[in-house]
Amino acid sequence: HPDSTHWTEHRLRRQRPLESRQALTQLDLDLNNLDWRRLNLKDGSLPREEAFLVNHLTQALRPDDVLMATWRGDGHCDHEAVGRAAAQAALARKAQLVEVPVWAWHWAQPDDPRLPWPRAHRLTLDEANLARKRKALTAHVSQLEPDGPRAPVLPATLLDCLLQPFELVFL
């Protein structure tokens, strides 16, 4: 939200963790049994914090853990930094890495050669899980509401991609 008077950096730093927690709750995940961490890093600064992320993740992971992260080729600097750090830490700790494309749906086509299709796996969602996913997505108010005259961060076309009855992950 560059230059936004409504979604200032200070407001977003408070709002985004609330949205994430609400979304996880909507997915019916037991937050007491999920190792979910917010590191309070500044939006757009994760490439500069990549070594910190690798170190933090390497210390937190155990062999055979499953680490889910944004895809390292996603097209958003923070998503890519998290993906690269997760890949390094997972390799070092022999954990399984599951990468999830998010912003790629802004620029990728279904047969886009820039995506690692040989690593892609499609996870079909039943109606109940799709409904939970839909509710979880609505928790991200800061990305769904227009910002004055500006369109929402998540355009309708991206929402259509995100609400398909499947998840696409890279293993």
Task: Kindly list the domain boundaries of the chain, sorted by start residue.
Answer: 9-170
Mean pLDDT of 10-24: 92
The number of beta carbons lying within 10 Å of the beta carbon of residue 171 is 11
- DSSP letter at 150? B
pLDDT, position 162? 87
Distance (Å, whole) CA 104 – CA 5 = 28
Nearest-CA neighbor of 26 among 139, 125, 128? Answer: 139
pTM value is: 0.89
- Judged against a pLDDT cut of 90, whether residue 42 lies above it is answered with no
Give me 152's structure tokens.
């929402």
Tell me the mean pLDDT in the region 66-88. Answer: 97
